[in-house]
Amino acid sequence: MHYFKPFWWKFLTIVILLYVLIAGLINNVPRLPILNETIRNAFYHPPLWIAMMTLLLLSAIFSIRYLSKGRIQDDLWAIEFANTAILFGILGCITGSVWAYFAWGDFWPNDPKTNGVAVGMLLYLAYFILRGSFEDELRRARISSIYNIFAFAMFIPLIMILPRLTDSLHPGNGGNPGFNQYDQDKSITMIIRPAFIGFTLLGLWITQLRFRMRRIQKVLEEQDLNQKTNETSLTR
């Protein structure tokens, strides 16, 4: 039993996501005009975005920790949280595009929130390119950490604040009512809230695996470098 204690949250992740998948497909949902059955996408699309923003926040926090403490592991956590977040962002874009097509007749409508997401994703694409442009590990970690913090500070207004200040097709933005006004029987909240938790835990799980892989890769690179150094010293 002691062996399974560290993995309780992983079992919880599986249980929650199975519940969200099954209940999201078979439970009753509010019958709204235009949306109809497509409202079931609310159980997957918004939770993916919430999980993405949570992971980006953690990435920015670890970048701040690196700048304050100088531990290279914090920089590794920062980049892996960002990698997983963008994966969730891509999935969010796919589910959102499918939903937009059936609800509004366009895979990518001219909407401030969708356009803000596109700009935000480009910001983080630049973050990945920036990291790859430095060979020196410490310099790469320091400069990319600064950029990561500013990218997050710009990303949140693009998708959370600006769409609420102008006309937007998304529920809860630009004067449009949110789903909570139609969810009288709690058929949406009883699934979407666990979905927020489940997708966030899944993001943590993926990030943990990627971090371990990156550490193993780093150790192997250091061993390879030490071996080459020793071989060079022997030949002299």
Q: What digits encode the pLDDT tens for the residues 72-111?
A: 999 999 999 999 999 999 999 999 888 888 877 888 878 7
Q: To 5 degrees, how large is the angle CA 141–CA 88–CA 56?
A: 40
Is 5 domain-assigned?
A: no
Q: Are 74 and 137 in contact (CB under 8 A)?
A: no
pTM to 2 decimal places: 0.85
For residue 230, tell me if it sits in a domain. Answer: no
End-to-end CA distance of the chain: 55
Query: What are 162's two structure tokens?
Result: 């600006």
Cβ 200 vs Cβ 54: under 8 Å? yes
Question: Is residue 79 one of the residues assigned to a domain?
Answer: yes
Where is average pLDDT lowest: 22-26, 51-55, 146-150, 178-182? Answer: 178-182
User: Which residue would you say has higher pLDDT here, 152 or 219?
Assistant: 152
Q: What share of the chain is helix, strand, coil (3-state, %, to 5)?
A: 80, 0, 20
Note whether residue 4 is domain-resident.
no
Domain enclosing residue 112, as ranges: 11-28+35-215
In the chain, the number of structural domains is: 1
Distance, in Å, from the CA atom of 67 to the CA atom of 60, rounded to the nearest integer, reads: 11
pLDDT at 16 over 90: yes
